[in-house]
Chains A and B, each alone.
Chain A
Amino acid sequence: GAVVSQHPSWVICKSGTSVKIECRSLDFQATTMFWYRQFPKQSLMLMATSNEGSKATYEQGVEKDKFLINHASLTLSTLTVTSAHPEDSSFYICSAKGLAGEANEQFFGPGTRLTVL
């Protein structure tokens, strides 16, 4: 139980294009979803927190107009990287929190590797 999927697993795009990443909780309702970015050999960096039906809360330094987050249902959140540039190339990971597992436990998706040419 408590499975989170992400799609796509990897994506290569040209500079200037937009990329949408989906995060789904498959067998539980995710009241909160988190989006992280991880550069090679570095730890996870929280980008934003989203609660179902409300606007996402972005961390300092993360441009909300560039990284659009939608959490329209209790099982789906999307991250859209608008006008992607090579410096946006990274490993993007979502996690979800709900009633499953330990209190406050986050279940992670498998991640999406984005390469912007």
Chain B
Amino acid sequence: GQNIDQPTEMTATEGAIVQINCTYQTSGFNGLFWYQQHAGEAPTFLSYNVLDGLEEKGRFSSFLSRSKGYSYLLLKELQMKDSASYLCAVLDSNYQLIWGAGTKLIIKP
């Protein structure tokens, strides 16, 4: 079956760095997305990786290793507004998005 695993919850301190991991087992791979979702709101796009390596966008970076079925989202200089759920999603061979359950990130002052 298809499976996306990510931690349920993480806690970090304002100003610090946090890494949210995602491992996947899917039928085929056409890219991996990270989305941010604040409570009661729809997800917003953060990043898309289809090749191995690190993609950096400001305070957020996303890494992919296709051979390991592994990705991480790195958030630097954490701000209170970064408190949200972070969803990992993989596009499978049918170009269907397979969603992880999300990681709830709690930022403490």
Q: Inside 8 A of B41's CB, which chain A residues have their CB?
A: 110-111
The answer to whether A105 and B87 touch across the interface, beta carbons within 8 angstroms, is no
Surface stretch bound by A, among B12-20, B64-72, B74-82, B92-100: B92-100
Q: Is the interface of A mostly helix, strand, loop or mixed?
A: loop
Q: Inside 8 A of A104's CB, which chain B residues have their CB?
A: 30-31, 48, 91, 95
Contact-residue bracket for chain A: 20 to 34
Q: Please name the residue on chain B nearest to A108 by beta carbon.
A: B42
Q: Is A35 an interface residue (CB 8 A)?
A: no
Q: In the complex, A65→B31 CA distance in Å?
A: 33
**How far is the CB of B48 from the nearest CB of chain A, in Å?**
4
Surface stretch bound by B, among A11-19, A38-46, A70-78: A38-46
The answer to whether B102 and A105 touch across the interface, beta carbons within 8 angstroms, is no
Q: Inside 8 A of B91's CB, which chain A residues have their CB?
A: 104
The answer to whether B44 and A43 touch across the interface, beta carbons within 8 angstroms, is no
The answer to whether A43 and B48 touch across the interface, beta carbons within 8 angstroms, is no
Given A43-B99, A43-B100, A44-B87 in contact, is the A103-B45 Cβ separation under 8 Å? Answer: no
Q: In the complex, A101→B31 CA distance in Å?
A: 14
* Residues in A lying within 8 Å of B, measured CB to CB: 34, 42-46, 49, 91, 93, 101-111, 113
